[in-house]
Amino acid sequence: MRISPFPGPDKIGFVLILISSVLLGIWATMHTIALRNILLGFGGLGAIYYWAIWLKSLNKHSFEMGLPRFAWAPMVLVVLMLLWVVIHFFCFSVDPQRQLSELSSTWVRALLAVLIGSATGLVLIRNAKFAPWLWLGLIVSFLILIGQYIPKALQRGSIFGVDFFGGYIYWAKFNGVLAGTILIAGLLGLLIDCFRNDGTQGATQGAILPPWVKASHLIPVYSLFGIFLAAYSFVFIFDAKAGVGLAVILIGFWILVGLGLLAIKILRLNKQKNLSSAYIKLAGLFFLIVLALGFLSYKHVKNNPGWERLFSDIAISAKIDQYSNWQNPHKYGYPQRGDGTTVAGNTYERVSWATVGLRLIGMQPLGNGLFRSFPEQVKKLAPEFSDTGIVYTHSAWIDLGLAFGLGGLILTPLALLIAMLRAVMGLSGRYKATIITLSLATLILYSVGEYAFQQGVEMLFYLSGLVGGLSLVASPKK
């Protein structure tokens, strides 16, 4: 469906894609707030204009094209979350001055991020050939990261160049994991959608790639290269369990899906002579991904023995009444396992503080309207709690719940879940894999990462807007 009255190429749409690409590349990097504000400002204006054109076109073609009402659900839930933030300030604020400061900075940028992300989704629905450009900014940022890493590794004489708070463009590993996971999810979605649509629709109407790109196989190489960059960084630069685990989950998810489809095709071989060439090529590419990820995972586990007792440590850490070490780990240390060894510190802190956070949300279901409010709220439950360096529960969803109560805990995850389920049911057009992978990655990533502040919130709402926009696929009325 044409959504622009302008003839020829969609220049405004391409500019929005480039703005999104640069934003994704710099959002989690250091010292980029001024550039982010400029891009968000111009991008927000462009997004409003693009939305106006799209809505005008949708209304004009309402007799020919239909948009299911439930397709709006992800966008409606995201908008409700933003409205709840404003309502909370006027009706339930416990510290109006601090909340106004966050409302006029982070939340304004989050609103602009939603506008840009959702408009970018609309652009991609109209212009599938723009899709590879969206992830270029992240690939460039990881190339810069590798350029910083190589001298450090050579200087140390080791393939590991871990430096959490050093000279890398991503300060602290959680920022690198955030950007890397989005890159892996986006490129996995691009790769799968490329092969899923290959040969089933016309090059100009539905295929993800123009013919010359398909012939040269640039997208598979492009995707594999970007995925490898992020996975390599998780192991040798960030030493990040969460990053490696998320990469394994995302790739493992699609392998299971692929095996299921393969089983179905094998059962139907009496009707088909052979499997499609696109399916065989995609299986071969995933085999290469598994080999590379297997090697990187082996290196990570060998350098990080905490994986061996992860589940037993989680079970101990969740018992916050039995083990009160979480109130002041610096004073009490960490609980011991049955064999007398100590549980992994990062696992204990993540699980115990998340459990405490959920209990606090039950005690204050409206939240207090502030980011990084965990230390203030937890002292109501445990006056002895030491807040030295502790401002998160290590789960962004729980931190949002602490700030904005049940609305913060439920609305945005529900938007992502609905977008993912609609894509699973085949109701999201050519970007089925992209929506599923980005939604799944965001849901898991924000469950285990401390991203409920500043750029983490902005990126969350950009991604929510993106999958919401990609879900708005109009189809001919019957």
Hey, which residues does 189 pair with through a beta bridge? none
Segment 374-419, tens digit of pLDDT? 888 888 788 777 756 677 888 999 999 999 999 999 999 999 999 9
**Mean predicted lDDT score pLDDT of the chain:** 85
Mean pLDDT over 73-78 rounds to 97
Lowest mean pLDDT across 46-55, 272-281, 461-470: 272-281
Counting residues of the chain whose pLDDT is more than 90, the rounded percentage is 49
Mean pLDDT over 287-297 rounds to 73
**Nearest partner of 175 among 185, 189, 161, 164, judged by Cα:** 164
Segment 185-226, tens digit of pLDDT? 999 999 998 877 764 443 333 444 444 444 346 888 899 899
CA 74 to CA 9: how far, in whole Å? 29
> Structural domain boundaries of the chain?
1-134+395-478, 138-303, 311-378
Segment 6-63, tens digit of pLDDT? 444 688 999 999 999 999 999 999 999 999 999 999 999 999 999 999 988 887 766 5
Name which residue leads in pLDDT, 261 or 9: 261
Segment 415-451, tens digit of pLDDT? 999 999 999 988 778 899 999 999 999 999 999 888 9
For the range 278-281, what are the long-range contacts, defined as Cβ-Cβ under 8 Å and sequence gap of 24 or more?
278/195, 278/196, 278/198, 278/199, 279/195, 281/195, 281/220
The pTM score is 0.89
Tokens 């400002």 correspond to 41
pLDDT at residue 298 tops 90: no
Instruction: Give the per-residue pLDDT at 230.
Output: 95
Residue 300's pLDDT band (cuts 50, 70, 90): low
Instruction: Give the per-residue pLDDT at 48.
Output: 97
Tokens of 448: 């285990």
pLDDT at residue 468 tops 50: yes
Q: Spell 141-175 as b/e; 16+ CB within 10 A means b.
A: bbeebeebbeebbeeeeeebbbbeeeebbbbebbb
CA 169 to CA 236: how far, in whole Å? 15
Tokens of 419: 């977008």
